[in-house]
Structure 1
Amino acid sequence: MRVVLPLALLFLTATPAAEDLRLNDKGYFSKPGLDVTVFADIYPDGHQTGVTVIQHGVRTAASGDLRLEASPGQWSPVPKGVGEAEIDRDHQRIAQTLAYPDESKNRKGFNPIEYPALEFGYRVEVEALEGDSFRISVDLEEPLPDEWIGKVGFNFELFPGELFGKSYRMDDEAGIFPVQPNGPPVERNGEWVTAPLARGESLLVAPEAELQRMRIRRVRGGELELRDGRGNHNNGWFIVRAQVPAGATDNAIEWIVEPHTEEGWQYQPVIQVSQLGYATGQEKVAVIEQDSRDTDADPVELLRLGKDGTEVARRGEPQHWGEFLRYHYLQFDFSDIREPGMYQLRYRGQTSRPFRIGDDVFARHAWQPTLEYYLPVQMCHMRVNEKYRVWHDKCHHDDALMSPVNHNHIDGYVSGPSTLTDFEPGQPVPGLNRGGWHDAGDYDLRVESQIGTVWRLSMMVEEFGLDYDATTIDQEKQQVEIHRPDGRNDALQQIEHGLLSILGGYRSMGRLYRGIIVPSIRQYVMLGDASAQTDNRVQARDTATPDGVPAEAPPESDDRWVFTEENPERELQVVAGLAAAARVLRDQRPELAGESLAAAEELFSRAFDNTDDTAVRAFALAELILATDDRGYKKQLVAMRNALIEDIDDTAWAIGRALPRIDDRAFVQAIDDAVVGQQRRVRQQAQATPYGVPYEPHIWGAGWGIQDFGVKQYFVHKSWPQIADREIYLNALNFVLGVHPGKNTKSFASGVGSDSALVAYGVNRADWSYIPGGVISGTALIRPDLPELKTWPFFWQQTEYVMGGGATNYMFLALAADALARKGG
């Protein structure tokens, strides 16, 4: 009998099957709505490596790898990769060989890790299956020692920020991902962790979320455990874990993972525009980011917001820029729109946040939050009040004890066989409990962040006449009152605050400190009021014992340690900052200015010949020339002619302002000629991205580096306006304010613009809050090609504030834009 099928059924049977997950030409598995990378990244400490899942353009799971703890933290052991990943296109597999320990991190390096006495190798393989599925398998070279059974397991981490309040199902047991980590705590292999949320054979994540649903099924290995890693580390994720069984080698762990995808999914266009706005004469170029398969361009509408609502001020076709990262890019130029007002952009039903056009757009609410809030809040050794609020009480009055020798401390502090001073390890060093700013999302003081802040503030005073008073800074009472003017220029008071710390150490030790930091990790990771980090009880300054030998600090002391170093490059950076500060303080604080310049010249005399770093030598010389007009410094700069030209990419910005003081015309002409080629290279870098600035993140988001690039381009433009393009430094500012890659287009400057980073990695990150005027590191690159800026306070590599450039470089660029707008530029 002949069967006649209904027309609709015939159509369905003719429809091609959904695409399978397959290896692409970038070396990872991909299909519309799903990407799976395998050890493509380099940063396990920051939840960036291992088996990683990107669902519908969002990284939802990462760090799939063997770990030695159920819930690892920042200083937990991580493996090392052995060779490159093996990509097998015939069988649609990627495999990576790894091993414990990583000798490069074992008790050494910037963040030294203490590895246990365990050595083993293993191999993680990921194989694409049909549809959305893939298999993870782990092979060990040999069985684990008996004492490590129950301790080693395969961890797969689920990003918490987009799971709060959503549900999960483990076999027949269901639950909700909690907003905060809840108990009960249980002891597990010597550490306290939160009891598993669920155990079983198959986990379904967020079944109600079409764009986020994922199933994980155990085939071999221990049962699945769903854990909340935040129970013992604030920055933890939700963790799916299975223990490696005793005696297991081949297929010790085997899972099937199936992230759900929406058929035919495409990345929705993102409009990237300054969240603050543009001066009337400024170039105004919005960037539109589209799915790589979407190369069509539809009209863009510029909307003017008036008293009667919105009207279309311009309708036009965007221009194709091309491919970058994983997207296709368009640009929409509306530079000829000069009428002041509020505007939005609309494209394919997507509308940007409102922004202003006007010559006063940078005159208020732009750079001011950095000076009004961020710098005061970061001030160490002070009580910082804001009306009813106390940001932190007087802190670190017990600074500081001389550090141990031959010690590799946390966070990049290392001491050699000598303290390099007359102070013995553990002996109190006077003069260090005044001035300085807490470095970043932590409370230590680094000399480079102190002097970097001093130099940039000095440049703002010198270049733009910065004179602004919104804060009372009382050094005698060690008290700050935000939004209570005291009749003094806040910028000069902040410069003074930095010098109190730098010169205080120099007076006491006869040299610079490397940094001041607490002795233990437990203190270092403390969040909350800075005054609680130490007991603030000053150790007796006379620590000599009856036999005249300096006593060690008492073992219970929680005082911070001061580290020293032999580092002529860093000393010359300080020389430059001290010389600049001396110039701007000369009239109001002549004694401090004189001490600052004297220290700069003394440091220069002993550091200059101990380094061949041309860039920092040129920086120091240029600032000293501007401060002293000394013929000897000019002769030294001219003598560096060949080295300066060879390194012109890193020297032009520093020496340009000093060239009018140089009488040697041949020298000046040679530098001018070299800058022509230098700026050609800068333009090539800028044109390599749709943003008009280079974007090449390493670990941290590229925001800080782009700001630094912009400040340097400002100085080159000032010295060579006919050669250097001013739009490049304005592009750097726009990048910070929202014209940057990825779907998150927030301004990196907290509290600045219509949409900004209001959850940040400051010292208040555990409160999911922000400090106005702080500037986050910004959009990071999840290798190989995903720009990412998550709303998450525990990603230092994306949302950390930092002193020494992060906030003050932004402030400088905003002031530069304001000065240009006031001139009608």
Structure 2
Amino acid sequence: MFSTSHKLKKILHVVVAVALSTAFGYSQQSAFQLNDLGVFKKRGVDLMIYNDSYNAGGFFDEKVNGIEMIQHGVRTVTGGAVRLSPTPEQWDLVPTATNRTVDTKSNSVSITLYYKEYDFTSKIKVEGRGNGCLITVTLDKPLPKKLEGKAGMNIEFLPATYFRKTYLMDQKTGICPVVAAGPTVADAFSEKIPQFNNLLTNERFGDTYAKVAPLASGKKLTLSPDDPKSLVSVESLTSQISLLDGRNLAPNGWYVVRELIPAGKTGTVVQWMFTPNSIANWVKEPVISHSQVGYYPDQQKVAVIEIDPNDKALATASLYRMNENGAQEKVLDGNLFNWGKFLRYNYLRFDFSSVKGTGIYQIKYGNYSSDPFPIGKDVYANIWHPTLDTWLPVQMDHMFVKEAYRVWHGNPHQDDALQAPTDTLIHDGYRMGHSTETKYKPYEHIPGLNIGGWFDAGDFDIQTGSHNTVIGYLVSAWEDLKLNHDETMVNKERKYVAIHHPDGVATDRTRNAGADGSVSCIRPLYPRYCTTPPLAI
């Protein structure tokens, strides 16, 4: 029989353990409940079930789709769906959500997914269960033969959130790698699920392609047990889950947790308990948004303050001017206007248009401060220089681009451009009809098109419409704004660009203007803009 002192010691141990777990964020968890937006919510955690669908026919897997989670202010999870590869890439096939049912009475959301390429339908049901969610995948028909060993339930985790943090897989330990890591295997190319329009973003070597293999496998994965802000667990109630590193195939890849769907089975084929940690009484820090460039003295100046819905809004904010000795002088206490709620947060407006004095300022809201910003008549004078001086030259296609000791890139894409074959659909919306309407044969090199232009956002195509717009803006800057700014050497003959090395093309109009108002230029890039009389100088 236990003594009274032994009982008191046991109670004391329990109280201390609870107190310590609460202090470090591992407290009694609140339950997941659907809100009026169809989002599962508990303190500090939002779980969205296909509030955003895959962009089929556009950019496909953009890491903003499927089952997603925002945990303590950071979007850490995306891509929860039935997928056809272990670590999906952008142009891999994505399912279409044909039905979405939100049932607040049963605290559940159901999704029906369909792959038209394989006439394959699956259903996912997510139910709030205590402090987590039960995720169930069901099939009315068995997997198509072509998808056996390929289709599985995936969910993806943002690598940057877990850098250098630990994980447990059935008590086996690991550290989340900063760079792409983990094993890959060479699989037969005939086993690869074709991408949209038979694109190939993964290298093919002979008859093989690279496929990511698991970092770890088991029944239960716990990510980030060392950090309560990003702690989450995934436990399979049906089979085995694997942790994979999608960055082995794509730079924008995420960590992937995956369970294969068994062949020849219907009904419940995958079932997970998904449990993210929630810190008791957690409140997101306010975000003060303002112009990073600064403000012209006479313009309207309104900052927007984003606050957690659980945070109590303050009545005022303050504006401080920074003196040359580092001291701050309060110049305004202003009332805040309650703009209202948008999706997850509440928003306040702070109008400080009455402040017009030149200087460097900072907004303070309670204990939080904005970044400093200027007010003055010259805030917009040079802010565009980095775009023209560095960004545009770096984006130049078909040119060798150098900045001081640094080579940004060599002279690329000299094999541009090939005549597209007839009746072909290419990504980004390009289509070739029944005729090429040119004298060139399909895949024949067309001379003269591998000159100039700018890179597209990661693709191997040149967006002519976008180029025309950029050229129009540059011409307008020259003709209408009279910009005489030259920080770049462009040698068209050598296809060579040197950043921060003036070549004299954009010369001073007033210094080089003739008696008739004409302007002479040194090696003009666009001669006609240097031979006609300019507008008023």
Fold shared, TM-score > 0.5 on shorter chain: yes
CA contact (8 A) 1:467 1:491 kept: yes
CA apart distance, 1:119: 2.6
What is the aligned partner in structure 1 of residue 163 from structure 2?
Answer: 164
Matched, 1:144 2:161: no
- Aligned partner of 2:72 among 56, 61, 74: 56
- 1:303 and 1:409, CA in 2 relative to 1: closer, same or farther beyond 3 A? same
1:352-363 aligned at under 5 Å gives the runs 352-363=370-381
Whole-Å separation in 2 of the counterparts to 1:27 and 1:38: 8
Cα distance change on mapping 1:148 and 1:477 into 2, 3 Å: closer
Amino acid at match of 1:121: T
Match for residue 232 of structure 1?
A: 249
Aligned pair partner of 1:269 in 286, 298, 302: 286
Amino acid in structure 2 at the alignment position of 1:266: V
- Larger RCO: Structure 1 or Structure 2 (Cα < 8 Å, ≥ 6 residues apart)? 1
Q: In the alignment, what sits opposite 2:86?
A: 70
Q: Are the equivalent residues in 1 in contact too, given 2:167–2:223 (CA < 8 A)? A: yes
Q: Is contact 1:457–1:491 with CA below 8 Å preserved after alignment?
A: no
Q: Provide the C-alpha distance between the structure 2 equivalents of 1:278 and 1:486, rounded to a whole number of angstroms.
A: 33
Secondary structure of the 1:230 match is: helix
Whether the 8 Å CA contact 1:461–1:491 is kept in 2: the answer is no
Partners of 1:278 and 1:226 in 2: how far apart? Answer: 48
The residue aligned with 2:123 is 123
Residue 101 of structure 2 aligns with which residue?
86
Taking a change above 3 Å as real, the CA distance of residues 296 and 387 of structure 1, as seen in their structure-2 partners, is closer
Specify the alignment match of 2:353 in structure 1. Answer: 335
- Native 8 Å contact 1:38 1:94 kept in 2: yes
Structure 2 CA distance for aligned equivalents of residues 405 and 62 of structure 1? 38
Provide the residue aligned with 2:63 in structure 1. 47
Aligned residue for 2:491?
474
1:24 maps to: 35
Query: Offset of 1:239 from its aligned partner?
Result: 0.6
Tell me the amino acid that sits aligned with residue 92 of structure 2: S
Query: Which aligned pairs between 1:602-641 and structure 2 lie closer than 5 A?
Result: none
CA contact (8 A) 1:439 1:449 kept: no
Q: 1:230 to 1:317 in 2, by over 3 A?
A: same
Could you tell me which residue of structure 2 aligns to residue 609 of structure 1? Answer: none
Q: Is the 8 A contact 2:182 2:245 kept in 1?
A: no
Cα distance in 1 between the residues matched to 2:250 and 2:526: 48
Amino acid at match of 1:25: D
What is the alpha-carbon distance in structure 1 between the residues aligned to residue 525 and residue 366 of structure 2? Answer: 61
For 1:266, what is the secondary structure of its paired residue? coil
Indicate the SS of the match to 1:61.
strand
Measured against aligned partners, the alpha-carbon deviations of 1:555-608 in whole angstroms (never above 9, x if no partner) come to xxxxxxxxxxxxxxxxxxxxxxxxxxxxxx9986799649xx9xxxxxxxxxxx
- Which residue of 2 is the match for residue 280 of structure 1? 297
**Aligned match of 2:477 in 437, 452, 460?**
460
Q: Quote the offset at 1:80 in angstroms.
A: 1.3
Match of residue 186 from structure 1: 185
How far did 1:160 drift?
0.9
CA contact 1:79–1:98 (8 Å) conserved in 2: yes
Identify, as 1 or 2, the structure richer in helix: 1
Deviations 1:242-296 (A, max 9, x none): 1112332111000111100011222221111122211222221111111234452
Please point out which of 224, 227, 242 is paired with 1:206.
224
Deviation at 1:484, TM superposition (A): 0.9
Q: CA–CA distance in 2 between the matches of 1:160 and 1:491?
A: 50
1:422 aligns with 2:477: no
Q: 1:338 deviation in Å?
A: 2.0
CA 1:99–1:472 in structure 2 vs 1: closer, same or farther (change >3 Å)? same
Cα distance between partner residues in 1 of 2:103 and 2:261: 26
Do the aligned partners of residues 225 and 332 (structure 1) sit closer, same or farther apart at CA in structure 2, a change above 3 Å counting? same
Report the residue type matching 2:225 in the other structure: P
Change in CA separation of 1:92 and 1:490 when aligned onto 2, cut-off 3 Å: farther
The secondary structure found in structure 2 opposite 1:384 is: strand
Q: Residue 197 and residue 485 in structure 1: after superposition, are their counterparts in 2 closer, same or farther (change >3 A)?
A: same
- Aligned-residue offset at 1:69: 0.8
- 1:392-407 equivalences under 5 Å are 392-407=409-424
Q: C-alpha displacement at 1:202, in angstroms?
A: 0.7
What does the per-residue CA deviation read over 1:417-470, in whole Å, with 9 as the maximum and x for residues that have no partner?
111223332333232232222233345322101101011112222332112011
* 2:167 match: secondary structure: strand
Structure 2: which 5+ residue stretches go unaligned? Answer: 1-7, 19-27, 55-59, 193-208, 510-517
User: Within 2, Cα distance between the matches of 1:184 and 1:395?
Assistant: 32
* Amino acid paired to 2:297: T
In structure 1, what residue type is equivalent to 2:115? Answer: Y
CA separation of 1:490 and 1:73: change in aligned 2, threshold 3 A: farther
Superposed CA deviations along residues 502-530 of structure 1, whole A, max 9, x for unmatched, are: xxxxxxxxxxxxxxxxxxxxxxxxxxxxx
8 Å contact kept, 1:138–1:252: yes
Cα distance in structure 2, aligned partners of 1:482 and 1:70: 43
Aligned to 1:369: 386
SS of 1:192's partner is: strand
Identity of aligned residues (%): 39
Partner secondary structure for residue 369 of structure 1: helix
For each residue in 1:693-749, what CA deviation from the matched residue of structure 2 results, as whole angstroms up to 9, or x when unmatched? xxxxxxxxxxxxxxxxxxxxxxxxxxxxxxxxxxxxxxxxxxxxxxxxxxxxxxxxx
Q: Which residue of 2 aligns with 1:155?
A: 154
Match of 1:820 in 2: none
SS in 1 for 2:437: coil
Contact 1:297 1:320 in 2 (8 A): no
The alignment partner of 1:452 has SS state of helix
Letter in 2 for 1:271: I
- Once the two structures are TM-superposed, the CA of residue 25 in structure 1 deviates from its matched residue by 0.9
Partner of 1:247: 264
CA distance in 2, matches of 1:133, 1:423: 61
Q: 1:139/1:187 Cα in 2 relative to 1: closer, same or farther (>3 Å)?
A: same
Q: Secondary structure at the match of 1:374?
A: helix
1:639-718 correspondence runs (5 A): none
Instruction: Output one character per residue of 1:747-794: Cα deviation in whole Å (capped at 9) or x when no partner.
Output: xxxxxxxxxxxxxxxxxxxxxxxxxxxxxxxxxxxxxxxxxxxxxxxx
CA gap 1:170/1:78 in 2 versus in 1, 3 angstroms? same
> Aligned partners of 2:144 and 2:460: how far apart in 1?
41
Size of the alignment, in residue pairs? 475
CA RMSD of aligned residues (A): 2.8
What secondary structure is seen at the aligned counterpart in 2 of 1:30?
A: strand
1:98 alignment partner AA: L
SS for the counterpart of 1:263 is: coil
* TM-score normalised according to structure 1 size: 0.55
Distance 1:490 1:168, change over 3 A: farther
- Cα distance change of structure 1 residues 25 and 591 upon mapping to structure 2, 3 Å threshold: closer
Partner of 2:112: 97
